[in-house]
Amino acid sequence: MIALVDCNNFYASCERVFNPALNGKPVVILSNNDGCIIARSNEAKMLGIGMGTPFYQAREMLEKHQVAVFSSNYNLYGDMSRRVMMLLSEFTPNLIQYSIDEAFMDLSGLGEGETLRDYGKRIVRTVTRGTGIPVTMGIGPTKTLAKLASRFGKKYKGYEGVCIIDTEEKREKALKACDIGDVWGIGRRHRKRMYYFDIRTAWDFCCKSESWVRKYFTVTGVRTWKELQGIDCIVEDDMTDKKSICTSRSFPGQGINRLEVLEEAVANFTAACARKLKEQDSCCSGLTVFAYTSRFREDIVSYQINRNIHLQVPTNDTQELVSTSVKMLRESWIGNGALYKKAGVIVWDICPDTAIQTSLFDTVDREKQARLAAAIDAINRKNGHNTVKVAVQGFDKSWHLTCEHISKQYTTNLNEVIRVKT
């Protein structure tokens, strides 16, 4: 059996952990630059606040209902996610983190029926007590059915945080009660097509033959169909190790029209991509740098930068990637006073760092480069993120995000930890 553990209203729950006064009150989290609403507590959902609603449009309603508003605090959310995953790893030999607030657990050999349910409840209680984050567990014979069980676990309190699909009767009942658009792997486009064929529920989809599904929904549709039938066919490689990584930001105000400021932003985006490559033990062979002016302003001329390069040898070295991306930006820069509203970096053509094809004509001393990178990483782990960094990453704050409602970094910044007064 496979379990999916999903943190309930994760961003809002993280804010509540350190501010208990928010319990039972509506909470919303804003996107980068406080643009729109990207997360809501259940209380906020009941008020009819929609996902993706621009903040300026909802401001009056939020004030009227005294909704707590927070800017995205990704340092806090990332650290709380790490704590949740560490606790979960104590209960299974095989844990796959699927997203910042979701993870699959292999529960094979850990019991069945009520024994397995009790084990799931124990996990839920341990995570909630240890982190303050409420979680729901769905258990099923496949990842898709576990995901489906998790939805029912959130919807009905009677499950006490753990819903299990372990019989044919339960599977059929769950599929008949699930809209086809709510099935993991069925996107908006496929949902529209399903409706065209009068497929309204997951059960309707399962009643089709495999050959019919393959004809109209290709191999991906067949995989989802088999998962709903109880045949586990989504392997770990399908969910881990990204094939490309992008780090980008929209800039506050009118945008950026100075090369040195845009250079600093691009350098930091590249460093973030390099860090993510190292976290998944991989290297990249392709690098893309892009920047463009606002797409919504008709009173100015539109400009865009989009440069790609294929590296001679795959790498995850921060200095090499940063110097390459900054060079690409400088070569594409035109001093025309354009206000660039967004920029970013994409690393692609990713491969494991244990399977690198070297080049006979490579001029870089890779061994020396690796020793230097390891020393810098060790310093940063001991003394804090970006203690040592490439000079071009700078200290300018003008390109940073607008975060007027951000909470403190309670768990990652010693200057912002909670102080208890006696």
Stretch 297-320: mean pLDDT, rounded?
A: 86
Residue 315 lies in a domain: yes
Do 208 and 324 share a domain, yes or no?
A: no
What is the C-alpha separation between 345 and 287, in angstroms, rounded? 7
If one counts the domains in the chain, the total is 3
User: Which residue has 């208990």 as its token pair?
Assistant: 20
Question: What pLDDT, on a 0 to 100 scale, did the predictor assign at position 141?
Answer: 93
Average the pLDDT over each of 155-164, 199-208, 268-277, 361-370 and give the range with the smallest value. 361-370
376-384 long-range contacts (CB < 8 A, ≥24 apart) are 376/318, 377/278
Task: State whether 387 and 253 are in the same domain.
Answer: yes
**Do 14 and 107 fall into the same domain?**
yes
Same-domain status, 133 and 26: yes
pLDDT band at 188 (very low <50, low <70, confident <90, very high): confident
Q: Which segment, 141-155, 295-309, 380-394, 397-411, is predicted with the most confidence on average?
A: 141-155
Residue 420 lies in a domain: no
pLDDT tens, residue by residue, 46-69:
999 999 899 889 999 999 999 999
- Give yes or no: residues 252 and 369 share one domain: yes
CATH number at residue 296: 3.30.1490.100
Residue 189: which CATH number?
1.10.150.20
Q: What angle do CA 304, 306, 310 make, to 5 degrees?
A: 170
Tell me whether residue 97 is in a domain. yes
Q: Are residues 304 and 249 in the same domain?
A: yes
Q: Which pLDDT value is given to residue 170? A: 93
pLDDT in tens, 6-53: 999 999 999 999 999 999 999 999 987 788 899 999 999 999 999 989
In a domain, 157, yes or no: no
Q: Are residues 74 and 199 in the same domain?
A: no
18 and 114 within one domain? yes
Last residue of a domain, one of 177, 210, 240: 240
Closest-CA residue to 412 (of 14, 99, 12): 14
Same domain, yes or no, for 259 and 283? Answer: yes
* Residue range(s) defining the domain that contains residue 264: 245-393
209, 240, 271: which is the final residue of a domain? 240
State the chain's mean pLDDT as an integer. 88
Output the pLDDT for position 256. 86
The residue among 215, 240, 265 that closes a domain is 240
The answer to whether residue 377 sits within a structural domain is yes
Residue 152 to residues 143, 146, 174, Cα–Cα distance (Å): 15, 10, 8
Residues 6 or more apart in contact with residue 30 via CB below 8 angstroms: 36, 37, 38, 55, 69, 70, 71, 72, 405
Q: Could you tell me the CATH number of the domain that includes residue 50?
A: 3.30.70.270
**Residues 228, 292: one domain?**
no
Tell whether the model's pLDDT for residue 364 goes beyond 90.
Answer: no
Q: Is pTM, for the whole model, over 0.95?
A: no
Task: Tell me, yes or no, whether 259 lies in a domain.
Answer: yes
Domain identity same for 34 and 172: no
Q: Is residue 124 part of a domain?
A: yes
Does residue 154 sit within a domain? no
CA triple 270-273-274, angle to 5 deg: 90
Q: How far apart are CA 78 and CA 100, in angstroms?
A: 7
SS3 per residue for the chain: CEEEEEECCHHHHHHHHCCHHHCCCCEEEECHHHCEEEEECHHHHHCCCCCCCEHHHHHHHHHHCCCEEEECCHHHHHHHHHHHHHHHHHHCCCEEEEECCEEEEECCCCCCHHHHHHHHHHHHHHHHHHHCCCEEEEEECCHHHHHHHHHHHHHCHHHCCEEECCCHHHHHHHHHCCEHHHCCCCCHHHHHHHHHCCCCEHHHHHCCCHHHHHHHHHHHHHHHHHHHHCCCCCCHHHCCCCCCEEEEEECCCCCECCHHHHHHHHHHHHHHHHHHHHHCCEEEEEEEEEEEECCCCCCCCCCEEEEEEEEEEEECCHHHHHHHHHHHHHHHCCCCCCCEEEEEEEEEEEEECCCCCCCCCCCCCHHHHHHHHHHHHHHHHHHCCCCCCCHHHCCCCCCCCCCCCCCCCCCCCHHHCCCCCC
Claim to verify: residue 268 and residue 227 sit in the same structural domain: no
